[in-house]
Chains A and B, each alone.
Chain A
């Protein structure tokens, strides 16, 4: 009998607890992969928002209340991400969502946001069609591959002192969209495309593709690869005697790539939305705190987390209420100045105006050598 009472008491207190605190904090839900194929990067994102929320709360939070994060693991899996989002909205009554990582998961979570009328911001998913659906509750605070190409394509020939460009990218949506969108922009800057080659997600070595690209005699090679393949790719390119500059979307300015590729990372250019070497007071403060607390340099996923969290909190502040509908309206009027400069959303809720960076690895450090601005689409 006593145990039964105890169980009942615990159950009641558990059920009541979220309601009891709901009035005292502003809850923001996070759906990110903390397990599965991209767990490493997902965890960086999660640790970053946790650190930043502590800072914001130390400065008084928002609307005079503390911010409370509720974090769920989406595992880069659409079904799991939907369950996580449903739980955050229905049970935890969050006023806004941040996520998800993989574009397929974000597409699934978008439907949950729309159903329950709660705003959702992604800082990572770049699949073009996400903002084409006209979902009023979805916002994307990151440039898509074609936007990045449009911003940097015209600059690349001069920045790399190259005329003949060869493409060697992953054979997926990302790589294909890169090979479809970059060439026009590069040509407008006086460049010329001499090879379009692909590799598969399962490839461990790229000797044939590299030999083929080399035969086209390019002045620069444009790459798209995640860390694993980026390491092998840049090593093998040099081992086959190709010395031209490499420039890539993806892992090319991240600490883990630079550490794993070693000397092969030297002289590699990265096309990125964020790099920790940006020279601005706000970024320098962020990097300093990040290094002190998380013991590494912030990656582009940390940068994304910084952007979306502040954009969400800024909108809540301007809305003056925790009503998700009002927050959504405030998000549309975003005019946020952060790590990567000014960010606004267009009619489709696609971010523009932010700065993107061309980094160059020198002595293991990805220095910014060129910047461009994302034009209003």
Chain B
């Protein structure tokens, strides 16, 4: 393969790897937004906690890596359920401004809790994969990258199927589209809220746990993740699952190719530029809420 094609292929591979992660995180955010009408500024903290708990289980408690990942997600989900039950359930009728402030407060609280528990150092989750990179015609990746891509892609598909095909998924979408008629067919809205919040947190925590193998996690990571997730959700359309998936992949690829072929100082600007463009021409985002 010629050198330019190899480099292009490497950028594309990088973009898909990061894009899958963006998509997974954004799916959770869009679900919480769509069902509960909450702009969850603490979403990135679930990612951060997923990473830290996985690190704690593997590194400090010596748990098997593949057992630690689902367990970490389960622990974060349990925390999310407690938070939803004790805070957000009471805010069902509250205006968006109130819930937004509450999530901002929660994000600060969770970040500082992580700081107290684990300190400010970045931590990488030790993985059982060989660290030696794999090369396919000069395009490099590692077993861990491939594992991340496989897990995030699989979770996106599973999430999508759960939402499209299962009874609960359908109930969620109905709640999303018209709460009153959902309640009238017997869907318990507060349960749907709890499911949506837990499910959204689970997706973010799963992303944090798998990516934590090569992107060190620290207490402040959450803020950056939240920002990226919002970019994706605004790009894809607030409350749209397909939008979150397509938007996540698009942002990942745009950042990779943009940084690859433009001055790298502009990398972050690319995502925001894309959002401004979309908002100018399609204020509702690329996809409608589904």
A/B contact in complex, CB under 8 angstroms: yes
Could you tell me if B124 and A235 are in contact, using CB atoms closer than 8 angstroms? yes
Q: Which of B161-169, B174-182, B212-220 contacts A (4 or more CB under 8 A)?
A: B212-220
Does A256 lie at the interface of the complex (its beta carbon under 8 Å from any beta carbon of B)?
yes
Assembly CA distance A202 to B226 (angstroms) = 12
Q: Is the CB of B122 within 8 A of A231?
A: yes
Q: Which residue of B lies closest to A197 (CB)?
A: B264
CB-based contact B267/A208 at 8 Å: yes
Within 8 Å CB of A159, what residues of B? none
Q: How far is the CA of A40 from the CA of B263 in the complex (A)?
A: 33
Instruction: Please determine whether A198 and B264 come into contact, CB atoms closer than 8 angstroms.
Output: yes
Give the secondary structure class of A's interface: helix
Interface residues on A, range: 20 to 34
Query: Which residue on A lies nearest to B258, using beta carbons?
Result: A208
Residues 229-251 of A at the B interface (beta carbon under 8 Å): 231-232, 235-236, 238-241
Q: In the complex, which of the residues B142, B221, B255 contacts A208, with contact meaning CB atoms closer than 8 Å?
A: B255
Query: B215 is contacted by which of A40, A204, A260, A263 (Cβ under 8 Å)?
Result: A204
Q: Is B17 an interface residue (CB 8 A)?
A: yes
Name 29 A/B residue pairs within 8 A (Cβ), A-sorted. A198-B263, A200-B267, A204-B215, A204-B225, A205-B18, A205-B214, A205-B215, A207-B18, A208-B14, A208-B15, A208-B256, A211-B256, A211-B260, A214-B7, A228-B122, A231-B216, A232-B124, A235-B216, A236-B214, A239-B131, A239-B142, A239-B145, A239-B214, A240-B10, A240-B133, A241-B140, A260-B123, A260-B216, A262-B124
The interface bits of chain B over 211-241 (1 if a CB of A lies within 8 angstroms of the residue's CB, else 0) are: 0001110100100110100000000000000
Is A171 interfacial (CB 8 A cutoff)? Answer: yes
User: Which parts of A174-205 form the interface with B (CB within 8 Å)?
Assistant: 197-200, 202-205
Shortest B59–chain A CB gap in Å is: 11
Could you say which of B135, B214, B224, B260 contacts A235, with CB atoms under 8 Å apart?
Answer: B214
Of residues 130 through 150 on chain B, the ones whose CB sits less than 8 Å from some CB of chain A are 131, 133, 135, 140-142, 144-145
Instruction: Report the nearest B residue to A168, measured CB to CB.
Output: B264
Question: How many whole Å from B90's CB to the nearest CB in chain A?
Answer: 33
Give the one of B256, B257, B260, B265 with max A CB within 10 A: B265
Complex-state Cα separation, A203 to B259, whole angstroms: 12
Which residues of A have CB within 8 Å of B145?
239
Residues of A within 8 A of B11 (CB): 208, 211
Do B17 and A263 have beta carbons less than 8 Å apart? no
Contact at A208–B260, with CB atoms within 8 Å?
yes
Please indicate the chain A residues that have their CB under 8 angstroms from the CB of B142 in the complex: 239
Indicate if the CB atoms of A238 and B133 lie closer than 8 Å.
yes
Q: Do A204 and B224 touch across chains, with their CB atoms under 8 A apart?
A: yes
With A204-B215, A211-B11, A235-B214 already in contact, the answer to whether A241 and B135 are too (CB < 8 A) is: yes
Size bin of chain B's contact surface? 35 or more
CA distance A328 to B240 in the complex (A): 66
Residue of A203, A241, A256, A263 with most partner-chain B CB within 10 A: A241
Instruction: Give 18 A-B pairs besides A214-B7, A241-B133 with Cβ atoms closer than 8 angstroms.
Output: A39-B120, A198-B264, A204-B221, A204-B225, A207-B14, A207-B18, A208-B258, A208-B259, A208-B264, A208-B267, A215-B7, A227-B121, A228-B216, A236-B214, A239-B145, A240-B133, A241-B135, A256-B121
CB of A200 within 8 A of CB of B14, answer: no
**Is B268's CB within 8 Å of the partner chain A?**
yes
**B97 interface residue, CB < 8 Å from A?**
no
Using known A-B contacts A171-B265, A202-B268, determine if residue A211 contacts B14 with beta carbons closer than 8 Å. yes
Interfacial chain A residues near B1, Cβ < 8 Å:
none
Contact B215 A232 (CB under 8 A): yes
Chain A residue numbers with a CB within 8 Å of B61 are none
Distance in Å: Cβ of B60 to nearest Cβ of chain A: 14
Q: Which residue of A lies closest to B140 (CB)?
A: A241
Cβ distance A360 to chain B, nearest Cβ, rounded Å:
20
A197-B264, A211-B11, A215-B3 known; A40-B140 Cβ under 8 A? no
- Asked whether, in the complex, the Cβ of A240 is within 8 Å of the Cβ of B140, the reply is yes
Q: Which residues of B contact A39 (CB under 8 A)?
A: 120
- CA separation between A19 and B10, bound complex, in Å? 69
- Measured between beta carbons, the chain A residues less than 8 angstroms from B221 are 204
The chain B residue with its CB closest to the CB of A212 is B260
Is the pair B131, A263 in contact by a Cβ cutoff of 8 Å? Answer: yes
CA A129 to CA B168, docked complex, whole Å: 62
A209 within 8 A of B: yes
Which residues of the partner chain B approach A171 to less than 8 Å between Cβ atoms?
Answer: 265
Complexed CA–CA distance, A171 and B265 (Å)? 7
- Cβ A239 vs Cβ B140 within 8 A: yes
Question: What's the Cα separation between A231 and B218 when bound, in Å?
Answer: 12
Most buried by A among B15, B121, B227, B255: B121
| Residue numbers in B under 8 Å from A212 (CB-CB) | 7, 259-260, 264
Q: Is the CB of B121 within 8 A of A198?
A: no
Contact residues in B for A199 (Cβ distance below 8 Å): 264, 267
Residues of A within 8 A of B256 (CB): 207-208, 211
Q: Mark B167-192, 1 if CB is under 8 A from A, else 0.
A: 00000000000000000000000000
> Which single member of B17, B133, B258, B268 contacts A207 (CB below 8 Å)?
B17
Q: Mark B12-27, 1 if CB is under 8 A from A, else 0.
A: 0011011000000000
- Cβ of B83 to closest chain A Cβ, rounded Å: 24
Contacting residues, chain A, for B258 (C-beta < 8 A)? 208
Q: Report the Cα distance A232→B216, complex, angstroms.
A: 6
